[in-house]
Amino acid sequence: MSALPRADELGLIGCHVCGLVCRDGHVHDQACPRCGARLHRRKSASASRTWAWLITAFIFYLPANLLPIMRTVSLGDVDDNTILSGVVELWVKGSPDLAVIVFTASIVVPMLKFLVLGTLLVSVQRRSLWAQRQRTMLYRLVEFIGYWSMLDVFVVALLTALVRFNVLSQVEPLPGVVYFGLTVVATMFASMSFDPRLIWDNRDNDD
User: Which pLDDT tens digit goes with each residue over 82-94?
Assistant: 888 888 877 887 7
**pLDDT at residue 152 above 90?**
no
Q: Same structural domain for residues 79 and 136?
A: yes
Instruction: Give pLDDT, residue 169.
Output: 63
Q: What is the extent of the structural domain holding 79? A: 46-199
Instruction: Give pLDDT, residue 120.
Output: 93
Looking at every residue in the chain, the average pLDDT score rounds to 81
Q: Same structural domain for residues 137 and 36?
A: no
Q: Same structural domain for residues 17 and 79?
A: no
DSSP annotation of 16: T
**pLDDT at residue 7 above 60?**
yes
Q: Same structural domain for residues 25 and 52?
A: no
- Would you say residue 12 lies in a domain? yes
Number of separate domains in the chain: 2
Q: Same structural domain for residues 10 and 91?
A: no
Q: DSSP H helical segments within the chain, as ranges? A: 46-66, 83-92, 96-103, 109-125, 132-146, 151-163, 175-193
Q: Same structural domain for residues 192 and 174?
A: yes
- Would you say residue 54 lies in a domain? yes
Question: What's the pLDDT tens digit per position in 15-41?
Answer: 877 888 888 877 778 888 888 888 877
Question: What's the pLDDT tens digit per position in 170-182?
Answer: 677 788 888 988 9
Q: Same structural domain for residues 140 and 112?
A: yes
**pLDDT at residue 201 above 60?**
yes
- Would you say residue 207 lies in a domain? no
DSSP annotation of 43: -
CA 148 vs CA 10, 113, 145: distances in Å? 38, 12, 5
Q: Same structural domain for residues 79 and 156?
A: yes
- Would you say residue 165 lies in a domain? yes
**pLDDT at residue 14 above 50?**
yes
Instruction: Give pLDDT, residue 3.
Output: 65
Q: Same structural domain for residues 53 and 37?
A: no
Q: Same structural domain for residues 179 and 122?
A: yes
Q: Same structural domain for residues 169 and 95?
A: yes
Candidate from 68-72, 116-120, 190-194 with smallest mean pLDDT? 68-72
Instruction: Give pLDDT, residue 207.
Output: 40
- Would you say residue 188 lies in a domain? yes
- Residues 150 and 185: their CA atoms lie apart, in Å, by 9
- For residue 204, which of 108, 136, 132, 149 has the smallest C-alpha distance? 132
Dihedral angle sign, alpha carbons of residues 101, 102, 103, 104: positive
Q: Same structural domain for residues 24 and 84?
A: no
